[in-house]
C-alpha cells in the first residue's frame, strides 16, 4: 500500500531524475550533430517567421533589469552610473541576435526533416500562420491565465475531496 511518505519519496525521486535528465540534455551540445546548410537555413527561416516576441531583445533587457535590481539594492547611491553601465553593456549585444537564433534553428533542424520544415515554413508564411505567430504571446498569456484559474479551482476541489475521503475513514481535519 502506498503511503504519503512513499508517494513523496517517489515524487522526489522522479523529480530528481527529471532534473538530472534536463541537466544532461542541456549539457549535451546540440551542435555535435551535422546539419546541411540548406536544412539549417530552412529552420532559421521558421525561427525568423515566428520570432514575434523579440525573445533575444527581451531576454537581454530582462537580464539588464535583474542586474540593475541586484546592484542598486546593495548600492542605491550608484543608480545613475549603474543605469549607464547597463545601457553600454546592452549596446554590446546589438547585432548578436543571430547567434541565439542560429542555435534555435539548429534545434529545429535536428528534430525536423527538410520536408517537414518546408511544410512548417509554408504554413507560417500563410495568412493563418502569420496570424498564429503574431498572436502567440497573447495566446500564451491567456492559456496561462486559464491554467491558473483551473489550478486554483482544482486545488480547492481536490482538498475538499481528500477531506471527504478522510471523513469516511473517521478522520476529521
Q: Does 12 reside within a domain?
A: no
Q: Does 162 reside within a domain?
A: yes
Q: Is the pLDDT of residue 6 over 50?
A: no
Does one domain contain both 117 and 87?
yes
pLDDT of residue 82: 96
Does one domain contain both 59 and 121?
yes
pLDDT of residue 12: 44
CA 172 – CA 167 distance, rounded (Å): 6
Q: Does 7 reside within a domain?
A: no
Does one domain contain both 58 and 119?
yes
pLDDT of residue 55: 85
Sequence-distant (6+) residues with CB within 8 A of 52 are: 133, 134, 136, 137
Does one domain contain both 120 and 149?
no
Confidence bin at 53 (pLDDT 50/70/90)? low
Torsion, Cα of 19, 24, 29, 33 (10° steps): -110
pLDDT of residue 4: 42
Confidence bin at 11 (pLDDT 50/70/90)? very low
Of 14-28, 42-56, 140-154, where does mean pLDDT reach its minimum?
14-28
Q: Which domain holds residue 164?
A: 137-173
Q: What is the mean pLDDT of the chain?
A: 85
Q: Does 159 reside within a domain?
A: yes
Confidence bin at 72 (pLDDT 50/70/90)? very high
User: Is this model's pTM higher than 0.85 or not?
Assistant: no
CA 122 – CA 120 distance, rounded (Å): 5
How many independent structural domains does the chain possess? 2
Q: Which helix (H) or strand (E) holds 3?
A: none
Confidence bin at 49 (pLDDT 50/70/90)? very high
Does one domain contain both 85 and 150?
no
Q: Is the dihedral of CA 139, 144, 149, 155 positive or negative?
A: positive
Sequence-distant (6+) residues with CB within 8 A of 172 are: 166
Q: Could you give the percent of the chain with pLDDT greater than 70?
A: 80
Confidence bin at 95 (pLDDT 50/70/90)? confident
The grid cell for 47 is 525561427
CB atoms within 10 A of CB 108: 20
Q: Does 50 reside within a domain?
A: yes
Does one domain contain both 115 and 147?
no
Confidence bin at 144 (pLDDT 50/70/90)? very high
Does one domain contain both 56 and 95?
yes
Sequence-distant (6+) residues with CB within 8 A of 157 are: none
Does one domain contain both 104 and 164?
no
Q: Does 9 reside within a domain?
A: no
Q: Is the pLDDT of residue 34 over 70?
A: yes
- Helical ranges in 51-170 per DSSP H: 55-74, 79-93, 97-111, 114-125, 127-168
Confidence bin at 32 (pLDDT 50/70/90)? low
Amino acid at each position: 500500500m502506498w503511503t504519503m511518505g512513499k508517494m513523496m519519496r517517489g515524487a522526489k525521486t522522479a523529480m530528481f531524475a527529471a532534473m538530472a535528465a534536463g541537466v544532461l540534455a542541456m549539457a549535451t551540445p546540440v551542435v555535435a550533430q551535422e546539419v546541411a546548410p540548406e536544412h539549417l537555413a530552412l529552420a532559421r527561416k521558421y525561427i525568423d517567421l515566428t520570432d514575434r516576441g523579440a525573445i533575444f531583445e527581451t531576454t537581454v533587457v530582462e537580464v539588464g533589469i535583474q542586474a540593475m535590481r541586484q546592484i542598486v539594492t546593495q548600492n542605491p547611491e550608484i543608480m545613475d552610473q549603474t543605469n549607464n553601465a547597463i545601457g553600454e553593456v546592452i549596446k554590446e549585444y546589438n547585432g548578436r541576435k543571430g547567434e541565439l537564433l542560429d542555435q534555435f534553428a539548429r534545434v529545429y533542424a535536428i528534430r525536423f526533416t527538410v520536408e517537414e520544415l518546408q511544410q512548417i515554413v509554408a504554413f507560417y508564411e500563410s495568412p493563418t500562420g502569420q496570424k498564429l505567430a503574431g498572436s502567440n504571446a497573447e495566446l500564451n498569456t491567456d492559456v496561462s491565465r486559464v491554467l491558473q484559474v483551473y489550478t486554483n479551482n482544482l486545488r480547492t476541489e481536490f482538498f475538499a475531496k481528500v477531506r471527504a475521503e478522510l471523513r469516511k475513514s473517521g478522520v476529521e481535519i
